[in-house]
């Protein structure tokens, strides 16, 4: 068996801290063993095979079955969990030119803070700052990179309001994206008409409050603010 240096490697909640003598099975096979420390603080000897050679690898000292911490450890197993994919996508679009999104990130100078190059550090930040299955990683400032001070967990709707391509409009002393103005009760036209008027140089307040002519009467909105 090819010898691998596993010291410092993470497997779920376990981090390898030492190697020990292999265990000999009754058939004479040599099974490599290591000492691992769990996030709960316990240490245990465990076979390398249990960590790497099974479809259900060991990811904790056994505490996952003892309560909420354990259930979370099982749910957040590194090798298949959504959070790992988020981290991989973030690193890929910043540092791998062949990735589809690289031209919008890495090629534009967007980088990942050095501490987040270590996945367990990123994972710890995520769990301590509101990570949830229905949220996505969102940069607060689009001209800055991925770092704790510039990232948050947001809904898809919140994140969509934070794109470079959004058109911001200031009217009535308020600044909102165009799509939000289109659903504002003071807006008497559709978003498409609003966009066209602004491109033609209309002042925002005038563009919003001047009704469009449709069969000689104003359009009405439903309860959600959409035109009917």
Contact 40, 65 (CB under 8 A): no
User: What pLDDT is recorded for position 74?
Assistant: 44
User: What pLDDT is recorded for position 28?
Assistant: 82
* Residues 94 and 45 occupy one common structural domain: no
Residue 206 lies in a domain: yes
* Residues 71 and 125 occupy one common structural domain: no
* Residues 129 and 156 occupy one common structural domain: yes
Buried b (16+ CB within 10 A) or exposed e, 183-213: eeeebbbebebbbebbeeeeebeebbeeeee
Contact 39, 73 (CB under 8 A): yes
List the domain range (segments joined by +) for residue 107: 82-160
Residue ranges of the chain whose pLDDT lies below 50: 1-2, 65-76, 78-80, 215-218, 223, 228
Q: How far, in Å, are 67, 139, 185, 228 from residue 223 at the CA level?
A: 45, 32, 10, 10
Contact 70, 43 (CB under 8 A): no
Residues 55-77 have pLDDT tens digits of 667 777 776 544 444 444 444 45
User: What pLDDT is recorded for position 70?
Assistant: 42
What domain count does the chain have?
3
Phi, psi (deg, nearest 5) at residue 62: 120, -5
What pTM, to 2 d.p., does this model score? 0.46
């Amino acid at each position: 068996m090819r010898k691998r240096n596993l010291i410092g490697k993470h497997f779920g909640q376990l981090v390898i801290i030492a190697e020990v003598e292999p265990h000999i099975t009754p058939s004479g096979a040599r099974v490599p063993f290591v000492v691992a420390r769990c996030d709960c603080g316990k240490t245990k000897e465990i076979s390398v095979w249990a960590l790497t050679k099974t479809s259900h690898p060991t990811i904790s000292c056994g505490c996952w079955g003892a309560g909420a911490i354990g259930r979370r450890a099982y749910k957040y197993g590194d090798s298949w969990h959504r959070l790992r994919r988020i981290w991989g996508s973030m690193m890929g679009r910043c540092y791998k030119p062949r990735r589809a999104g690289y031209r919008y990130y890495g090629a534009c100078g967007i980088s990942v803070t050095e501490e987040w190059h270590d996945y367990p550090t990123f994972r710890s930040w995520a769990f301590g700052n509101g990570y949830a299955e229905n949220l996505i990683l969102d940069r607060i400032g689009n001209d800055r990179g991925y770092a704790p001070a510039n990232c948050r967990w947001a809904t898809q709707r919140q994140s969509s309001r934070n794109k470079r391509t959004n058109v911001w409009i200031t009217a009535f002393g308020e600044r909102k994206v165009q799509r939000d103005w289109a659903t504002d009760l003071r807006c008497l036209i559709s978003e498409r008409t609003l966009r066209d008027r602004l491109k033609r140089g209309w002042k925002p307040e005038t563009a919003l409050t001047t009704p469009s002519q449709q069969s000689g009467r104003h359009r009405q909105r439903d309860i959600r603010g959409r035109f009917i």
